[in-house]
Structure formats: C-alpha cells, structure tokens
Structure 1
Amino acid sequence: MANGSPVITDFRIGTVNVHSFRHPETSKSNAKELASILGPLNLDVLAVEEAMNDYDWKLLCNDLSLTHSVFGASHGVSYGNAIASRHPIVEHFKQKSKIDADGGYRAMLRCRFGGYHPFVQNRRFAVTHLDHLNEDDRLTQIKEFSPHNHDINVLFGDMNALTQNDYSDKYFGEIVAGKREKAGWEIPRFELTQLLTNTWSFQDAFRDVNPKLKDEQVATCPYGTRIDYIFLHPLSKDEWLLKECFIVDTYQATDHHAVVATFEHKSKSENNIENDT
C-alpha cells in the first residue's frame, strides 16, 4: 500500500427487534445481554424496532460504541424505531403512518450519515416495523412510506412479512401455514416482499447471499419464519459489494434474531480474487 493511502475497511450493519428492551420471559432489561451478543460483531450501524427512547437504548449504544443515534416514535413519543452509528447523523426524518390499523400505528425513520468512511457517502438508510396482523395493512404502510421514492439504499426492518422461497413445501404446510391456521391468524401471503423486490427492485440481502438456506435455518422469530430483513438498493456504479449476510441467535434475550450484513470495497474483493488465483 502506498504511503498515506487510507485503509478501506469493511462496513457492517445490523438490525434487531429489541422487544421494548424487555426479556420475553423475565421482563427484565435485555439491553446488556443484547450488547454482549452484538458487541463482538463490531457493527458500524444498528437499526432497532420496538425500541424505547430511554436508558436502555443509551446503554446499548454506549456498550456497542455507537456514539451517534436518532429515535423515531411510532406510538406516543418514546416507542418506535431507532438507528445508532459510529458515524455522524447529518440528516434524519421521522414519518408516522396515517392509517389506524388494527395492529396499531407504524412509522419509518430515515437518515443519512456523514464522516469519512466511503460507504456512507450519498447513501440513505431507513428502518421500519410493519403491521403484525394483516398483509393489506402492511402493504398500505410500505406504500405510504415509499422507500423507493425517497432513494433509500438500505432498508432495515421487522416487516412481519414472508418470502415464499424461504420454505420447503413440507415445512410451509406444517409450520408456516399449519401454525397460522391453528391459531386463527391470517393465511400466508407474499405480496409485501414481492413488491419490494420485484416491483421496487430492492435486493433481499440474506436471500441473495444464502440462496439454498430454508426452513428453520432462516427463521428469525419464534414462529419459525423469517420476518426480519435488510433490503438493499445499491448506488449507481456502486463500489461496495455485499460480502455476507447472516442471522445472529439472540438466545431469547428478545423474541427475534438479529440480521447482519457486511460490505467490502470492490478493490478489496478484486485483490482477494487475485490472491486466490
């Protein structure tokens, strides 16, 4: 490397539903436990859903060395979505849904980062948590938030939505559709993820990197389904490539697993290929 050339490091992002920072079984704070799980991952950006804008959120940010944060309420003033980062937040916008769905009000938080890491330049991030009861309401909410029209490049979220090719026929019949039928929930539908990927051209980071994983291997919630996502809309002539995307077991500290994605610069990827040949 030439003298004075900056080291271009990988960039890692993650998302998790923190369950109001309460352990699902004990109802005690789960912030420290989540910090111990996520800490070794060295995240540059963390987006969370079902967050409380309180001491636990500040504790999690501090323990993960994410010194910049922004919160966007969906219910009242202290419950909603939040984003924390190692990089300054130079712009943010909180958008609440105007529809009164049976599952409650929802919101999207958008932001843009500053600083010197080249990954954040001209890239917009957003996080949302969509309705948990009804696909029609989810569709109305995501259309209202309109991430494609706001030039969102990285969309995090607990979408409460399914992707059809996540499941084998047997697993789908017994676990996905079967459990829902017994519980009297909505039948499985896939319009939300199809809208994002097929119509709005977002990439499903986890599915793109792990095309063969199915069934319990992809589950992010206790019901055996994948409902937590990182969607990508790369920049024109993007110099950053998706390197990996994986699910992180939260060991029941919350009722969702985390999803993490890592990006590397094209020059580093090309050097790796040359070294392998």
Structure 2
Amino acid sequence: MTRFRLATINVHSFNNPSDYENNIEELISIFKPLDLDLIAVQEIQKNNHWSNFCKHLSLPFTHIGSGGGNYYGIGIASRYPIISPYDQQTSFASVGGNRFFIKCCLDGDHPFVKDRIFAVTHLDHLNENDRLKQIKEFSPVGHNVNILMGDMNALTRDDYSDDYYQKNLVQVREKSNWETPCFDLSWLLTTRWAFQDAFKQINPQLKDESVATSRYGTRIDYIYWRPRDNDEWKLKDCFIVDTKKATDHNAVVAEFEQKS
C-alpha cells in the first residue's frame, strides 16, 4: 500500500498494426509482470477484447467512455472500484474525428487514491489547433484532475537533439505533408496549467530514440500529474515500455511512492 503503479497505452483496437491479427496475448505478456493498479487505454471498443485484457491483468473495475463504439474510444481499468465517472465528447467537428475524455475517482483502502482524480484522453492526430481546442474544452484543470494520461499526439521540444529534430521531425513531416512540429499543447499543460510531465521529471537527460512512444520516433504518450498541497506521495519512477510492435505505440508507466 506504499506504492501505486499506473500506465497508459494506445492498443490500436487490439490489432497488431502489421498484420491486424489480435494482439491481446502479446500485450498481456508485456503488462502482466508490471503488476499495475490502473491502466488508461486508447483506441478501444466495448467488446470481449477489452474485457479479456482487463481480466488477465487482474484489473476488475473498468469504464469505457461514451465513445465506446468509436475507433478513438478510451477506457480505464483499475484494481480499485471506479466511482463518479464523467464522460465528455468534443462538441465541435474536426477532420481527425470526435475525441473523448474520461475523469473518475477510485474507491477502496489504498491511500494514494483518496481524494485524487484520474483522467484519460486521446487528442487529434492531425492538427495542433484542434488538440488545443479539445484539451481546453475538456479542461482538466477545471475538473481538478490530479493525473492526466493518454495519447496526446503532442510534442515536447526538449525531447530531441537539434540533428534528430531536423531529420526525424521537420524533414519527415515536410516530406509527408504533415503539420510542422508544434509544442503549444505541452507548453499549455506544463507551464500554464502546472501539470508535471512525469517521464521528463524522472528522465530529464533522455532524448531522441530513447524517448520514442510512436512508430515515427517521437514521444506523444504522456502521464501528467499535479501534486496536491502537502502531498504525502511522490513520483518515484516513470519509464517507457517497449511493446515490441504489438501495437503502434509504446507504453508509459509511472510509479508513485508514499513519502517516509
């Protein structure tokens, strides 16, 4: 009870991106040894794949948001009862599709979950302006979220050396006619809204390939947190887990520890 471990992962609708075969067994073999207390999942639908995944990870309490039938559906699975879930869908149209937000509290006797609000989202993959509109409408600060997880599709400039940035972000995006690299969303979350980037907090020196969570060699999956006043818990560790191409994202895991 002095440790709490959580993760976020985009599971690609539980299909391997290379052959579209079911990837549940591969993902379970990766996540089960981590002994998670909570996992936030993106690109899921309300079906047997989701329930089997949660069952094998011994996370019996689950919630899928209002986008459960959508390709961009999101959910949370927990070792502890999920209470007061709140679902939100974007109210405006985006080329990248509707996006969703879930926040909830957890019940039970674990001291970390007491009076703490958890949230998950999956933001637009095409346009930073749409991502900004989405996160502002979801308003994690207005909802007093303590831990925000998910596939943000957002970049952090400090993640990349100059050479890597030019070759793997600027040039790749120019060649593919994608949006130019933008950092407004990560700045908004960390500077204006005072969320802490858990991975960057623990690994300030890591860059380039070492921080990649997407197939394109960029970090777009995050766990953000805002410590409470006089918080009795601290961030002990945060690391990226290689999913061995079972899905098109790597996972991010954070571990919190009760202060002595």
TM-score (norm 2): 0.98
Amino acid paired to 1:257 = N
Q: 2:191 aligns with which of 198, 221, 230?
A: 198
What residue number does 1:72 align with?
65
Which residue of 171, 179, 199 maps to 2:172? 179
Q: Say whether the 8 Å CA contact 1:53–1:78 is kept in structure 2.
A: no
Residue 85 of structure 1 pairs with residue 71 of structure 2: no
**1:91 Cα deviation after fit:** 1.2
Does the alignment pair 1:103 with 2:96? yes
Tell me the matched-pair count: 260
Match of 1:134 among 127, 130, 137: 127
Identify unmatched segments of 5+ residues in structure 2. none
Instruction: List gaps (5 residues or longer) in structure 1.
Output: 1-7, 268-277
> 2:239 matched to 1:246?
yes
After the TM superposition, which residues 20-35 of structure 1 pair with which residues of structure 2 at under 5 Å, given as runs?
20-35=13-28
Please list, as runs of the form range in 1=range in 2, the aligned pairs for 1:45-60 lying within 5 A after superposition: 45-60=38-53
Moved more, 22-31 or 238-247: 22-31
Counterparts of 2:126 and 2:224 in 1: how far apart (Å)? 22
1:245 deviates by: 0.2
**Superposition pairs of residues 238-277 of structure 1, within 5 angstroms:** 238-267=231-260
Offset of 1:74 from its aligned partner? Answer: 3.0
Moved beyond 6 Å, runs of 4+: none
Superposed CA offset, 1:229-272 (max 9, x none)? 000011111100000000000000000000000011001xxxxx
Distance 1:70 1:76 in 2: 13
Question: Displacement of 1:75 after TM fit?
Answer: 6.8
After superposition, the Cα gap between the structure-2 partners of 1:77 and 1:258, relative to the gap in structure 1 and judged at 3 Å, is: closer
Q: 1:218 to 1:188 in 2, by over 3 A?
A: same
Please name the residue that 1:275 is paired with.
Answer: none
Q: 8 Å contact 1:32–1:59 — kept in the other structure? A: no
Q: Quote the offset at 1:29 in angstroms.
A: 1.2
1:5 corresponding residue in structure 2: none
What residue number does 1:144 align with? Answer: 137
Decide whether the 8 Å contact of 2:90 with 2:100 is kept in 1.
Answer: yes
The residue that corresponds to 2:202 in the other structure is: 209
SS of match in other structure, 1:115: coil
**Counterparts of 1:106 and 1:78, CA distance in 2:** 10
Amino acid at match of 1:226: R
Q: Distance in 1 between matches of 2:210 and 2:140?
A: 28
1:165–1:79: structure 2 CA closer, same or farther, 3 Å change rule?
closer
8 A Cα contact 1:108 1:145, kept in partner: yes
Structure-2 separation of matches of 1:79 and 1:195: 23
Contact 2:68 2:74 in 1 (8 A): no
Q: Tell me, what secondary structure is at the counterpart of 1:51?
A: coil
Deviation at 1:78, TM superposition (A): 7.7
Q: Distance in 2 between matches of 1:235 and 1:139?
A: 25
Residue 235 in 1 paired to residue 219 in 2?
no
* Percent identical: 55
Q: Is contact 2:45–2:70 with CA below 8 Å preserved after alignment?
A: no
Matched-pair contact (CA < 8 Å) for 1:203–1:232: yes
Structure (1 or 2) with the larger CA radius of gyration: 1
Distance in 2 (alpha carbons) for counterparts of 1:78 and 1:97:
15
Looking at structure 1, the residues matched to 39 and 215 of structure 2 have their Cα atoms a distance apart, in angstroms, of 22
Residue 166 in 1 paired to residue 159 in 2?
Answer: yes
